[in-house]
A and B are shown apart, each in its own frame.
Chain A
Amino acid sequence: MNIFRFAGDMTHLISILVLLLKIYATKSCSGISLKTQELYALVFLTRYLDLFTDFISLYNTLMKLVFITSSLAIVWCMRGDPAVRRTYDKEIDTFRHYFLVLGCFVLALLLHEKFTVQEVLWAFSIYLEAVAIIPQLVLLQRSGNVDNLTGQYVLFLGAYRAFYILNWIYRYLTEARFTRWIACISGLVQTALYADFFYYYFISWKNNAKLKLPA
């Protein structure tokens, strides 16, 4: 474990806490893409298949449980809770995320560490996580105004993988045989997708203005 990876995990955890706060405090999921949340639930379920077979550390196991349960709770709440469900932007959350799932699965069948069920699904989860934010970014562009908690949620979510990139650089420099090309390249694509969001977020912060993404 290094400080970059720990900062990344904490930033990721904060993003989830901000989203839970928004949904439970405001009893609203307006501005949140259910499709992105469903993709994240799929990412964690397919990535942490080793939860009960490989014990890395208490921290690792705990965080996996937190990510799986929180992502499922958010999807369940957005689909099930009548009060929250009413605020879901159903008519603009229309990105066809099934294509993302299919594309990532085909890619995982072609590019993986080992051709085993667990490794192919692990690669699938890495590729899917890289593109899972797309329905959310599309929804924010369509909805125009972005409320503070939603903006902070996306900001922390984007920042976490940027910390992981620093972690991979650090591990590459300090560990003899460290090569994680699948995670590194996907992580770069994932962070790059947030580039324009980061830019408009910085502009709105600098001008102390409301965050608006151009359509």
Chain B
Amino acid sequence: NSEDDLHDEL
């Protein structure tokens, strides 16, 4: 899902 695709870390 899109959540995993995003790089949520800096």
A positions within 8 Å CB-CB of B: 5, 9, 12, 47, 50, 54, 56, 60, 63-64, 67, 122, 164, 167, 177, 180, 183
Contacts and interface: CB of A to CB of B under 8 A. Distances in A.
Interface in B1-10: 4, 6-10
A67 B4 contact: no
Is chain A's interface secondary structure helix, strand, loop, or mixed overall? helix
Is chain B's interface secondary structure helix, strand, loop, or mixed overall? loop
* 5 closest A-B pairs by CB: A56-B8, A54-B6, A63-B10, A9-B10, A122-B7
A50 B9 CA distance: 12
Contacts of A63: 10
20 contacts: A5-B9, A9-B10, A12-B10, A47-B7, A50-B6, A50-B7, A54-B6, A56-B6, A56-B8, A60-B8, A60-B10, A63-B10, A64-B10, A67-B10, A122-B7, A164-B9, A167-B9, A177-B4, A180-B9, A183-B9
Nearest to A118: B7
A122 B5 CA distance: 12
A47 B8 CA distance: 12
A9 B10 CA distance: 8
A180 B9 CA distance: 11
A183 B10 CA distance: 11
B10 to A, nearest CB: 5
A38 B8 CA distance: 24
Contacts of B7: 47, 50, 122
B1 to A, nearest CB: 10
Given A5-B9, A64-B10, 18 more contacts: A9-B10, A12-B10, A47-B7, A50-B6, A50-B7, A54-B6, A56-B6, A56-B8, A60-B8, A60-B10, A63-B10, A67-B10, A122-B7, A164-B9, A167-B9, A177-B4, A180-B9, A183-B9
